[in-house]
Structure 1
């Protein structure tokens, strides 16, 4: 009897749905989407995996790898559900996290709200100590005072402490000593050091990041322990690996130490899925568009890699206003978040205009058509009215939609107040949210030096294939690639992620002042850390790849740019200078005149293991049943209104088949809309390449 094929499981907990994908060496075996259980997220993971294994008669012992991403960290910070946390800092600096950078993100708003620190002022305590910017000790740490502070905090019910001393990124000795003192004086306190969590200059960002990390550390540790126990209870023995925001995966131990690196793990999986499918189809540059139930996200893929940023904001006072949230310094795939999803609420504003989002009905209670108590008209309700979503086919028929209730909500909340028909109101909601997303995507691309019309769009998420072609048309894109299992693509993309970890070290020096030996030693120290962490996960040293970069600027500037650099060797200084000039010119359109010195602020290294051998594809159909399973009325204004539209079963489509719009392609967790004037082509991996025929397609 032949050995059964091993399975890899990707599991993503999103704001509305929890997604599962099972993969073997031939491709996708099973996918499933279920509503997220916010109060007990690990229970939802257990439930969706148990149901999928039972439905497909799969042995849990065949699962050899589990990769998991979750919104737990983000939600805990937004909802303030973390540990009772205190800050211990250098005397005179307790208010750094409240003063921030004294930046007004909305200059003329007299009622401006600033982000509220995670720690109130009475729990921000000071101790005498002082390290200078060059690392020399000016004032030794007062260990007796620190011990008394630790005892007082424990007696006050504090559970976690962030230690953030001035210039500890240059000399961490005081912070390391502080951990020893606190452990002896108050052993119940969880301690995080800024020199370990974020060893970079800029006190505000470093303090904010360390506070956020320790604030959720116990919560994440408990969750991961619960998750691991539930998986073992199902018969799944491998410890889950955790998706990080930078596009790599890590062990549970690393995630427990640095939970802040899990902030954007779900969207990171989607970007990796776009990279993997793009690699197979020769599309190394793409505009990745992910639309779920709560938000939409756009990410630029360049040369087969998603762009990565090192600054992120969480718990924004104004959701889409940069500067209104708590800053976190951690590597994260660079993407823009748009307040648009299937659950986005449509309403008429005081001026009588139609607006959509950014607030969402989420999964509890959800859109009106879900029948779970929702009363606000949403994008999903409009899509049901337009005929794009079949009421009996949603989630493969597992969750029927109430089309009559959706029609009543759109009529009462939009159509009647505006004096238009039901169809016009539903189309207005659909087109408005498309235009909102297209505008945000256009700005995001242009700010990164890209012309969105030049990039093919890759669509994913439960609503990505439904709205993506319309957004792409508004942007002027020529093609849209809709992969199989698009609705669970983050979970699928997890399985293409290598083990990866990032390290950073701040050392401020002019480029010409550093010797090759000093530069080599700086990177070697980071490489040693990467090899140690990945080695503990079973990666051989010769299988580890190191990616080096520097954050640089002209002397006198206040901000810097990241520059990829080669290994240190002959000609290194000139290569770094040329790389900086190229990056600077691409971003700002010019380079300062010759003679202005260049300086380095931060040294960065990403250590990666080998790419997993994951075939992200839909196995070819085995039966002979026709892919076209019927028709239904769907609304397309360029066709004059509702027209009879062909409906296809995604799982029966053969490679090479051509679909002419109007057409709807259904799979369990998503529906692709091919409007009149568009043409879809089924590729060998099961993806559908949609040619928009710019100028003739529909929004």
Structure 2
């Protein structure tokens, strides 16, 4: 199929490439379509956390070397990333302060006065992303109709900024009552913060997601600010790397609702892309399900850091609000996806009570699982798979990795000694814990939707989905598992 070349993208007798990239915590996956011939190429490259964007250059170089791709011939570049969601799951975001109305300092702690699991005697709420001593009440009040009762006390704002800076805040979230009606108080406070501390970034709830109810607005704005430095830095580096490589097509980002936005918008509206890669995976899986003639699908998207689950009913992905990002609800319309910190790189450990734990910390790509031979010494799910004999018989990642079973066994043995088991027993226990963690989350998802998973087909994808998918399907007595030919690039 011929496609007209845009200026600077080559002439009509040259190639025209569309590239999709899924950037995870351990690998970056490329899918390139040459539109004239319909040829598809895919590959996988280890991420470089210390040099964001370098892995992108490596991938483009490999595509050029193997497929003859010319950077100037790229007419569309779209990518999804788990940078945001991994930041929340692993709690590696920035230190924030919150300014709200005096008397409403406990808004995020009170939430909706519901426990995460009302039937568990051991249930507890997660620690908030902003500590209580970093929440400041500012005298100010609007009525519900937007009329002003009391203007913000700017001296109190300046004093709060000084305390926030002293406590190490890198940014401030501003969320006031009724700002969905009018943002005059939030704007006034944010301007004062910019005046006294221009080095701090500021997000207002009315800017991020101006909806009624202060808790939903506040938590959404907090998530946006929490991941902002990482996401913004990553996107800036991405754009610079693309331009240096000669790719002039603008970088487009997939959003949590399955749409796309440009990089400049993504740097400010970070919360819109928290479920970027995961939402894209569900959209891709729905397309595959329709092609396969399957109406009801449970998707299982496992990368190096997280496992994401979604339901496709009657061939269509489900949408909603309040999806969980780690332990926190995301109050923006998005593809309904549940995520937990279990992936191929998830680290297994033994806690103070001698209980085996898996995740949410991940070995990532640097140093990665022990079996990668890149200096990693901690035991991961991938190492357990190698010790159990499921991995290590051939190369991985399109020939870029060779699993070292000896290193995996050494890592698992060190952990096995702590629980008095053999290496094989410990490895199987790691897999059992990982699958049981997934089982609990999927069971919640199915219960909320009111579906019987025995009537569904499991579609595992991502680098680790097919690796663990059959085990999860067995637990739910699902009769069928469908694997995509290129599971790493379903998104």
TM range (shorter): 0.7 to 0.9
- What's the counterpart of residue 118 of structure 1? 130
- Is 1:258 matched up with 2:258? no
Q: Alignment partner of 2:264: what SS?
A: helix
From 321, 332, 336, the counterpart of 1:330: 332
Structure 1 unmatched runs, 5+ = 317-324, 494-699
After superposition, where does 1:511-526 map in structure 2 within 5 Å?
A: none
* Distance verdict in 2 for CA 1:74–1:467, change over 3 Å: closer
Q: Deviations over 1:173-204 (max 9, x none)?
A: 43345556666676665432212312223323
Cα 1:146/1:5, change in 2 over 3 Å: farther
Counterpart of 1:63?
74
Higher strand residue share:
1
**C-alpha displacement of 1:166:** 0.9
Q: Deviations over 1:536-569 (max 9, x none)?
A: xxxxxxxxxxxxxxxxxxxxxxxxxxxxxxxxxx
Aligned twin of 2:6: none
Query: CA–CA distance in 2 between the matches of 1:160 and 1:350?
Result: 35
Name structure 2 gaps, 5 residues minimum: 1-10
1:147 Cα offset (Å): 7.6
Distance 2:317 2:127 in 1: 29
Aligned residue number for residue 479 of structure 1: 480
> Retained in 1: the 8 A contact 2:86–2:305?
no
Q: CA deviation at 1:439?
A: 5.1
1:164 aligned residue: 175
Query: Relative to 1, partners in 2 of residues 1:89 and 1:115: Cα closer, same or farther, differing over 3 Å?
Result: same
Distance 1:410 1:4, change over 3 A: same
The structure with the largest alpha-carbon Rg is 1
TM-score by length of 1: 0.60
Aligned match of 2:186: 175
Contact 1:220 1:256 in 2 (8 A): yes
Q: CA deviation at 1:326?
A: 4.5
Residue 338 (structure 1) shift: 4.0
1:578-603 Cα deviation digits (max 9, x unpaired): xxxxxxxxxxxxxxxxxxxxxxxxxx
Shift of 1:277: 1.0
- After superposition, the Cα gap between the structure-2 partners of 1:64 and 1:305, relative to the gap in structure 1 and judged at 3 Å, is same
Distance apart, 1:99 and its partner CA: 4.4
The residue that corresponds to 1:449 in the other structure is 450
In 1, are the aligned partners of 2:320 and 2:335 still within 8 Å (CA)? Answer: yes
CA distance in 1 between counterparts of 2:160 and 2:410 reads 60
Superposed counterparts of 1:602-613, under 5 Å = none
Residue in structure 2 matching 1:397, options 384, 396, 399: 399
Give the Cα separation in 2 of the matches to 1:340 and 1:159. Answer: 29
CA contact (8 A) 1:356 1:432 kept: yes
Q: Does 1:20 align with 2:22?
A: no
Q: Match of 1:5, SS?
A: coil
1:312, distance to aligned residue in structure 2 (A): 4.2
- Contact 2:82-2:278 at 8 Å conserved across structures: no
Q: How much has 1:10 moved relative to structure 2?
A: 1.6
Match of 1:3 among 1, 4, 13: 13
Q: 142, 145, 168: which is aligned to 1:131?
A: 142
Match of 1:200 in 2: 211
CA contact 1:343–1:379 (8 Å) conserved in 2: yes
1:270 is matched with which residue? 281
Taking structure 1 as reference, are residues 265 and 435 closer, same or farther at Cα in structure 2, changes over 3 Å only?
Answer: same
Distance in 1, Cα, partners of 2:294 & 2:124: 44
CA contact (8 A) 1:97 1:117 kept: no
- Size of the aligned set, in residue pairs, is 477
C-alpha distance after superposition, 1:61-87 (max 9, x if no partner)? 1111111222333344554543x6443
- Matches of 2:298 and 2:47, distance apart in 1: 27
CA distance in 2: counterparts of 1:266 and 1:130, whole angstroms:
40
| Aligned pairs (5 A) from 1:601-640 | none
| Distance across 2 between alignment mates of 1:434 and 1:151 | 45
> 1:242 offset after TM fit, Å?
1.0
**Distance (whole Å) between structure 1 residues aligned to residue 426 and residue 173 of structure 2:** 52
Give the superposition deviation at 1:145: 4.4
Task: Go from structure 1 to structure 2 and tell me whether the alpha carbon gap of 1:289 and 1:148 turns closer, same or farther (over 3 Å shift).
Answer: closer
Find 1:343's aligned residue among 342, 345, 349: 345
Structure 1 residue aligned with 2:307: 296
| C-alpha displacement of 1:460 | 0.2
Q: Which residue of 2 aligns with 1:643?
A: none
TM-score when normalising by structure 2: 0.83
Matches within 5 A, 1:271-420: 271-314=282-325, 325-345=327-347, 360-410=362-412, 413-414=415-416
Structure 1 residue 2, shift from structure 2 partner: 6.4
Which of 23, 41, 46 aligns to 1:35? It is 46
* 1:465 is the counterpart of 2:466: yes
CA distance in 2, matches of 1:180, 1:417: 56
Q: Structure 1's 28 and 98: CA in aligned 2 closer, same or farther, altered over 3 A?
A: farther
Residues 17 and 155 from structure 1, CA distance in 2 versus in 1: closer, same or farther, beyond 3 angstroms? closer
- For residues 345 and 214 of structure 1, the distance between their equivalents in structure 2, rounded to whole angstroms, comes to 27
